[in-house]
């Protein structure tokens, strides 16, 4: 079974369930400021989701000074998580 790896600032916490990983990233780590619009968003997957959903890839790579390859890796992280995760459960747990 896949173990999900946090990876934020070298955190080597792992989780059996991707929902646990996303909730961990959003609650155990400090929020981060979006480099494009200044919104404060959770770190980890939800932050990536904000960047990719609300901003163009170009705006993102410029604001964060990352190269397009890195942006593509983040996009693939998002896809991997979204394929595996029950987003409804995550939202419920974070709001509830």
Residues that bind Zn ion (CB under 5 A): 6, 8, 11, 13, 34, 36-37, 39
Rank residues 14 and 89 by Cβ distance to Zn ion and give the closer one. Answer: 14
Distance between CA 84 and CA 61 in Å, rounded? 26
Residue 21 CB, shortest distance to Zn ion, in Å, is 8
Listed residue (79, 80, 60) closest to 68, CA to CA:
60
Rank residues 13 and 87 by Cβ distance to Zn ion and give the closer one. Answer: 13
Q: Are 30 and 47 in contact, with CB atoms under 8 Å apart?
A: no
Residue 4 CB, shortest distance to Zn ion, in Å, is 10
């Amino acid at each position: 079974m896949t173990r999900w790896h946090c990876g934020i600032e070298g955190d080597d916490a792992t989780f059996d369930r991707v929902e646990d990983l996303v909730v961990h990233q959003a609650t155990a780590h400090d929020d981060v400021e979006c480099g494009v619009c200044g919104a404060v968003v959770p770190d980890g997957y939800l932050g990536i989701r904000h960047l990719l959903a609300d901003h163009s890839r170009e705006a993102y790579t410029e604001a964060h000074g990352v190269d397009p390859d890195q942006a593509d890796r983040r996009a693939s992280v998002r896809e991997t998580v979204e394929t595996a995760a029950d987003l409804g459960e995550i939202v419920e747990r974070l709001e509830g």
